[in-house]
Structure 1
């Protein structure tokens, strides 16, 4: 009887993998956004968490009409008597706290912190969540958010539904004194781009912070998903003038808070309880102020389209 050929065996791949080290990534979170609003806003430091906004009374008529040129030398001077009155009860902004507490079982942090420190990774991700909440508050907070605090006279409705060049031009008439940038949901910017292309006037781009932005009349359209799209596929577009010198919109923060790791952001160890759980308090203090009413305008009810069954179609 002929000898049977020997069976050639090789190391099983699944078994071999048990001796191999896998290269691991940090935890990836798709909820992290560029948070451009925070980058584009100028930030003013405050003391004791309070910012008092002093304004001139708006019902004083035309003050400039009461200021006259100097008379000729052969005429007796008749100086006009006038003054600029201030609001007697100016608004005060108190910094808002965005906070969360991190709880970590010490067994987990002791045994499973290589190659990535578990506490540092948890802090990194929670700080990102706190910063996302910060931008959301800057847009939507009822006390100081941009959208709720825009004046009624600074709000306009879109003419045709989809955002058009005419709509953005109308916004510019509301914030015509050195406007800085538009703020809109990415889908609203895409809808505006489609309208421009349809009209044969595709908007140019500009590179800021190393990133290209669409522009209109030289003003960048800054994307933020914190300007929500409702169930009907509608959103809002803002136009801002920024900076104290321009009497625009500013962000407020307080430097030097205890446990500060970034401006106005602190991380403080709160101790370990009897169940061996270590706790850390993460706090971010911020607010914003609209220095004059004409520093902000809102285009309301723009239709950005609902996604159709086909990925490249909108209705």
Structure 2
């Protein structure tokens, strides 16, 4: 069984990857997408999204990190993929699943699921640009407005030469509303000879086991669940007990220390509040604490609130 951390824009940055990799045995982590339009991006962009490049493309404990690219130009996707590999990315992932309106308006992400031929051209160009010993993967949804092209899109990725395919078991229109339609992944997994990774509505070990039983996949990708329950990967892989609220709060303080000591302190308030939105699903205490700190706009105010909550638990 493999467990992969999904890319989550605005949530899973390098600090979060570092934190989660210290308490989980992830097989792979995928970065937030790097937007590719009409140029070869400078190296500093890749290092900003993936500082792990300075450590041979892995977190401090050796968890491999793969850069994800999002774009609709085969040529520029290929050139940027090659640059990412030369800088140390552990493979390349292409994003055909992002449902964000801004991304879709610019004809990126899930929007491309309406055009399997273009997906094929993008993946083929990337595969030809990237050395054969490096993995090229893609993440798709089941469709854009409906699921009628789910198999055509999966086949386009495979026939273009991809090594792996992750499938989020919803269409763009479905968003993140339950349920996840795992049965579609079953069909894809039965059809494709490459590894298929199941994604969607995996919140605990029971969900992961049921998903793998239904789909026949031996790998799962977790996103929102990984933020909702910080040790979800090890809960799935090893049966570890879910983190308590005390353990989670300590983890948040560790994350806070790293984020606020960096040059990115200005966006810490938005990041920590975003995390709370996911923690609320798992911990009632998170909802109570969020009610207190959501009014604060600066990092020092939020840090003080978190520290006070931790002191009260002694």
TM-score normalized by the length of structure 2: 0.24
Structure 1 or 2: more helix by fraction: 2
Q: Which has the higher contact order (CA 8 A, sep 6+)?
A: 1
| TM-score w.r.t. length of structure 1 | 0.24
Q: Greater CA radius of gyration, 1 or 2?
A: 1
